[in-house]
Structure 1
C-alpha cells in the first residue's frame, strides 16, 4: 500500500502542482483546503505524513500542527510564505519536522518527503499501534503517562477519574452497574454508598463537556462509541 499524504493548502494552484508531483512519485494524496477538513481526515483515515500550510482560513496551521502532535508522531512538513526565522522556529517547536518557504521547488519538496519518510518510518511507530495508547472516538488515553485528552485538549484528572475513564474506554458501549464500578474503581473493601459513582461521573461530565458518558437508567453507566 502506498504511503498516504494529507495536503492541507487553500491555494488551488499549489494544490494541483504539489499533488501532481506527489502522485507521480507513487504517493496517495488527499487534498484539503482547511485545517478543519484535515482534522476530519485525521479522525477517519489518518495519513502517514502531513504537508501543511500555515496561513489557512479558520484554524491556522500552527494550531492544527499542535493538535496533531497531541495525538501522534506522524511526520509534518510545513510550507509557508512566512520566511522569518521566528515563524520557522515556532513551526518546528509546535511539532513540525521540516519547514519549507514559499515559493519552493516541487522537486525539493519531494526530496524532503522522501528523506523524512526514510528517517521516520523505521523509528517512529504510529501511536495507533502503541500498546499504551487507547482511543475511543474523541477520547484519547496514554496509559503509561496517565494522560487524558478529549477533542484534542488535555485534561488534568484525579486518580479515580482516570481509572473510571480507562475502564469505560477499554470496554466501549458496555453498560456497567454501579456495583461493578464501585468494586472495580474503589475496591472490594469500600463500604460507602454507590452515590460515589454518580458523583464521579458528574465531575467527569462537568470537566469534559460533550463526553459521551451515558446513563443506563436504573442500572449504571457506559461510554458510547460510535459504530464504524
Structure 2
C-alpha cells in the first residue's frame, strides 16, 4: 500500500505535520483519524521504503513509527531519516524488552509506546515531544551560542557537537539531554528534573528512557564524561579524568 495524506478539517493549531508509519492498515487509519481529529496534518506510510520517501517529500515535524515493517524495519527507517534530517520519533512496538528499546533509542527514537496502546497516551506523547522541540528552539535564542567544556564544544545555534576536535552526530533528544546536563557542569541533575526538562514529562517508565539515552550519549561523547549518582541522577563532568567512575 502506498503512502497517503490526511488533512484535518481545520488547520492544526501548532501547524505540525506528522508521519504515521504502520503496516497494519486498520491501526494506521485509527491513529491517523485520531490525530486528524486533534488538529494535526497527517501523512501515512505502510512500509519502510515509503516511510523514508514520505519523510523526504513532506518534512514532517514528528514521526510515529512502527518497529516491524515490510521492506525494512522501523530501526532502519529511523537510521535513514535521522541521517537525512533529524526529527522526533515516537516508536510503536509490540516488543518491550530492554534490548529492543536500547537499540531503538540508539538509532534516534525519542520515545516509545507498547502495543496495545491507548490513543490518549499516543497523543500525549506526541504533544510532549513537540513541546520539547519548541522549548529547545526558544532556549537556543535566549542563551549563549557556544558552550565549551574542556574539549567538548556545543553549538546551540547549529546544534553541532565537537569532541576532541571531531564532530559527533547526536540525535535531537541526545543533543537536548547534553544541553540540560551542560547547563550546570559538575552539578547532579535529578532524574525527574531531566525528564521534565528534556522530555516534558515524568513517569515510572521514564527511568528506562532516560537511562537508554544517557547510555547512547556516553557512547558518543565518552563514558567518563557523564557521571552516575546512584539513586539521584547524572552529572556532566566539566573536565573528566580518565577512568573516572560512571
- The corresponding residue for 2:124 is 111
Please tell me the root mean square deviation across aligned C-alpha atoms, in Å. 2.4
**2: CA distance between counterparts of 1:132 and 1:89?**
23
What's the offset of the Cα at 1:72? 2.5
With normalisation by structure 1, the TM-score equals 0.54
* Aligned counterpart, 1:40: 53
Structure 2 Cα separation of the partners of residues 122 and 40 of structure 1: 28
Give me the TM-score of the superposition, normalised by structure 2.
0.50
Cα 1:45–1:83 change in 2 (3 A) is same
Correspondence for 2:40: 27
Counterpart Cα distance in 2 of 1:55 and 1:75:
19
Q: How far apart are the structure 2 equivalents of 1:67 and 1:119?
A: 22
Q: Tell me how far apart the structure 2 counterparts of residues 18 and 5 of structure 1 sit (CA, whole Å).
A: 11
- Where in structure 1 do 4 or more consecutive aligned residues deviate above 4 Å? 130-133, 144-147
User: Residue 132 of structure 1: CA displacement?
Assistant: 9.6
User: CA separation in 1, counterparts of 2:71 and 2:86?
Assistant: 24
Tell whether 2:78 aligns with 1:78: no
Q: Secondary structure at the match of 2:84?
A: coil
Deviation at 1:146, TM superposition (A): 11
User: CA offsets, 1:48-104, max 9 Å, x none?
Assistant: 100000100011100110111212221000001112111111111111000111000
Pick aligned residue for 1:51 from 50, 60, 64? 64
What is the aligned length? 133
Larger Rg: 1
Residue matched to 1:137: none
1:156-202 deviation per Cα after TM superposition (whole angstroms, max 9, x unaligned): xxxxxxxxxxxxxxxxxxxxxxxxxxxxxxxxxxxxxxxxxxxxxxx
Alignment of 1:170-181 (within 5 A): none
Matches within 5 A, 1:146-185: none
1:131 deviates by 6.9
Alpha-carbon distance between aligned partners in 1 of 2:49 and 2:159, rounded to the nearest angstrom: 27
The 5 A counterparts of 1:138-217 are 145=167
Give the secondary structure class of the aligned counterpart of 1:30: strand
Does 2:75 align with 1:62? yes
Q: C-alpha separation between the residues in 2 aligned to 1:81 and 1:7?
A: 16
In structure 1, the gaps of 5 or more residues are 134-143, 148-228
Using the alignment, how far apart are the partners of 2:90 and 2:98 within structure 1? 16
Equivalents in 1 of 2:106, 2:167: separation in Å? Answer: 21
